[in-house]
């Protein structure tokens, strides 16, 4: 395919991460360099900003502030969770998108997100093809969940994993100071795939991690949890358990739902709360006097102060390469990572069809989970360790991070 001249639209979608803005920097800075790209727009709140004609002219931003995006957590342009209906079912949104694309001569569309966002990207791509509107559409991967199909890993995961492993090591130290028994339950994100929870195994690899790790890939059994915890408690007096918020039993019930049946407080009320507090409370009732449930909550996806430099660089590269490939004529792909053979970590960029990646979830292979189903194997460590290498954080002013401050000048209508 030849040269295509026109404007470019970039959007951020789905849950934010520590490094999604680094991909934004990659797309925006590369697009601003390209002669065939006549304008660079950043959509406010992803696809919604396109539909609402609410987007920023990125050429108005200072270079320094764009650079700072690399170390600014969260989705600086605003994100959205908006699922496009299938065009066969309802064409309204698509017609509107086409109208906006035509009005601004948008010929490049870059969409940065996880599974749902790649679905959006795919639908936009297919619709523009169908109606014969020439436009190069590229997905830029992002998700702390690391569950996108077809790529070795996803930008966002390495930094979340680094935060989880670091914090778990620190909690491990903290939970060991008294010579009394203590059970600590760490609740980690990941509704269907256990990649984030598995990252706690990196702390164990360094000698300061959980004794037990429960992933949503395997059915969760309260009895097994209590048996295994009790055994370690009897032996060592201290137990640390990492559990995924997405763990479900054979019947498909989440831990919070199981808790409601298994345990009641002293007033006879069912226990409410997240998996960590439920499990901590049940362990308190059945095993130990001292327990603590800790939820890493949002912190695990926005802790840019302890981001992985590898992740920040790769997130940037993914954005940059999406633009380069599109300018070269590629369309309808997501940028992905392919790990090179050899002992030293190296990832190459590859392209995968949007159709293949949209809505397909990648889970942890069974052989990377130990036989007992309560820990990870060395293969997982080998996989994950390179992803958390290098320390990234924002420039510090007054002892605190200096985040990017964009002007967000709205594009002229």
Question: Binding segment for its own copies among 91-99, 217-225, 234-242, 393-401 (CB under 8 A)?
Answer: 393-401
Is 166 an interacting residue with respect to its own copies (CB under 8 A)? yes
Torsion of CA 231, 363, 10, 88, to 10 degrees: -130
Round to whole Å and give the CA distance between 116 and 119: 5
- What is the footprint of its own copies within residues 347-366 (CB under 8 A)? none
Q: Quickly list DSSP for 149-185.
A: TTSS--TTHHHHHHHHHHHHHHHHHHTTSSSS-EEEE
Q: Angle at CA 194, nearest 5°, toward 203 and 183?
A: 50
> Site map for its own copies, 28-47, x if CB under 8 A?
----------------xx--
Q: Which is nearer to its own copies, 62 or 391 (CB)?
A: 391
Question: Binding segment for its own copies among 283-291, 334-342, 354-362, 392-400 (CB under 8 A)?
Answer: 392-400
Is 145 catalytic? The answer is: yes
> Site map for its own copies, 86-125, x if CB under 8 A?
----------------------------------------
Q: Are 198 and 145 in contact (CB under 8 A)?
A: no
- What is the footprint of its own copies within residues 290-349 (CB under 8 A)? 292, 294-295, 297-299, 301-306, 308
Is 263 an interacting residue with respect to its own copies (CB under 8 A)? no
Is 229 an interacting residue with respect to its own copies (CB under 8 A)? no
Q: Are 368 and 389 in contact (CB under 8 A)?
A: no
What SS3 class is residue 290?
A: coil
- Compute and round to an integer the Cα radius of gyration of the chain: 23
> Quick one: which of 43, 144, 203, 283 contacts its own copies (CB under 8 A)?
203
Question: Binding segment for its own copies among 127-135, 226-234, 242-250, 398-406 (CB under 8 A)?
Answer: 398-406
Is 400 an interacting residue with respect to its own copies (CB under 8 A)? yes
Q: Quickly list DSSP for 94-122.
A: HHHHHHHHHHTTEEEEEEEESHHHHHHHH
Is 216 an interacting residue with respect to its own copies (CB under 8 A)? no
Number of residues in contact with its own copies under rule CB under 8 A:
66
Query: Angle formed by the axes of helices 255-262 and 275-286, to 10°?
Result: 30
Q: Which is nearer to its own copies, 111 or 403 (CB)?
A: 403
> Quick one: which of 96, 176, 286, 290 contacts its own copies (CB under 8 A)?
176
> Quick one: which of 3, 250, 252, 267 contacts its own copies (CB under 8 A)?
267
Torsion of CA 90, 91, 92, 98, to 10 degrees: 160
What SS3 class is residue 23?
A: helix
Question: Binding segment for its own copies among 3-11, 189-197, 219-227, 385-393 (CB under 8 A)?
Answer: 385-393
Round to whole Å and give the CA distance between 188 and 300: 8
Name beta bridge partners: 291: 183
Is 170 an interacting residue with respect to its own copies (CB under 8 A)? yes
Is 16 an interacting residue with respect to its own copies (CB under 8 A)? yes
> Quick one: which of 87, 133, 385, 408 contacts its own copies (CB under 8 A)?
385
Q: Which is nearer to its own copies, 175 or 255 (CB)?
A: 175
Burial class (CB in 10 A: 0-12, 13-18, 19+), 363: middle
Is 83 an interacting residue with respect to its own copies (CB under 8 A)? no
Torsion of CA 29, 35, 39, 42, to 10 degrees: -20
Residue in 145, 147, 211, 332 annotated catalytic: 145
The single-letter DSSP state of residue 320 is H
Q: Are 281 and 304 in contact (CB under 8 A)?
A: no
Q: Tell the smallest beta-carbon distance from residue 371 to its own copies (Å).
A: 25
Q: Tell the smallest beta-carbon distance from residue 265 to its own copies (Å).
A: 6
Round to whole Å and give the CA distance between 229 and 284: 11
> Quick one: which of 1, 92, 178, 346 contacts its own copies (CB under 8 A)?
178
Q: Which residues are near its own copies by CB under 8 A?
A: 12, 16, 44-45, 48, 72-76, 78-81, 162, 165-167, 169-171, 173-179, 202-203, 205-206, 208, 265, 267, 269-273, 277, 292, 294-295, 297-299, 301-306, 308, 385, 388-391, 396-401, 403
The catalytic residues are: 145
């Amino acid at each position: 395919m030849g040269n295509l001249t026109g404007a470019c639209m970039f959007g951020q979608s789905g849950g934010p991460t520590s490094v999604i803005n680094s991909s934004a920097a990659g797309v925006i800075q590369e697009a601003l360099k390209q002669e065939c790209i006549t304008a660079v727009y950043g959509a406010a709140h992803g696809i919604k900003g396109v539909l609402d004609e609410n987007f920023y002219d990125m050429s108005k931003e200072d270079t320094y502030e764009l650079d700072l995006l690399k170390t600014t957590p969260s989705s600086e342009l605003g994100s959205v969770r908006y699922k496009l209906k299938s065009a066969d079912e309802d064409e309204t949104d698509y017609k509107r998108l086409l109208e906006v694309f035509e009005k601004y001569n948008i010929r490049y569309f870059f969409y940065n997100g996880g599974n749902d966002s790649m679905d959006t990207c795919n639908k936009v791509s297919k619709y523009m093809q169908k109606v014969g509107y020439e436009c190069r559409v590229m997905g830029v991967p992002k998700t702390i969940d690391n569950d996108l199909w077809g790529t070795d890993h996803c930008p966002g995961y390495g930094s979340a994993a680094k935060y989880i492993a670091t914090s778990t090591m620190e909690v491990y130290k903290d939970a060991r100071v008294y010579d009394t028994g203590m059970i600590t339950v760490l609740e980690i994100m990941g509704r269907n795939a256990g990649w984030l929870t598995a990252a706690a195994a990196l702390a164990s690899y360094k000698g300061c991690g959980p004794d037990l790790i429960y992933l949503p890939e395997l059915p969760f059994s309260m009895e097994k949890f209590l048996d295994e915890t009790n055994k370690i408690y009897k032996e060592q007096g201290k137990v640390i358990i990492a559990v995924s918020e997405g763990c479900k039993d054979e019947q498909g019930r989440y831990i919070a739902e199981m808790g409601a049946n298994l345990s009641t407080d002293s007033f006879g009320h069912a226990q409410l709360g997240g998996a960590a507090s439920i499990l901590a409370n049940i362990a308190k009732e059945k095993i130990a006097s001292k327990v603590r449930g800790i939820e890493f909550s949002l912190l695990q996806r926005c802790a840019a102060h302890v981001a992985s430099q590898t992740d920040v660089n790769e997130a940037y590269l993914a954005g940059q390469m999406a633009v380069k490939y599109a300018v070269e004529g590629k369309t309808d792909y997501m940028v992905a990572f392919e790990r090179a053979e050899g002992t030293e970590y190296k990832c190459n960029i590859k392209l995968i069809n949007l159709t293949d990646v949209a809505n397909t979830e990648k889970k942890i292979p069974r052989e990377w989970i130990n036989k007992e189903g309560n820990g990870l194997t060395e293969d997982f460590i080998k996989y994950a360790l390179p992803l958390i290498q290098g320390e990234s954080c924002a420039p510090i002013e007054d002892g605190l991070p200096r985040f990017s401050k964009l002007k967000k000048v709205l594009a002229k209508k």
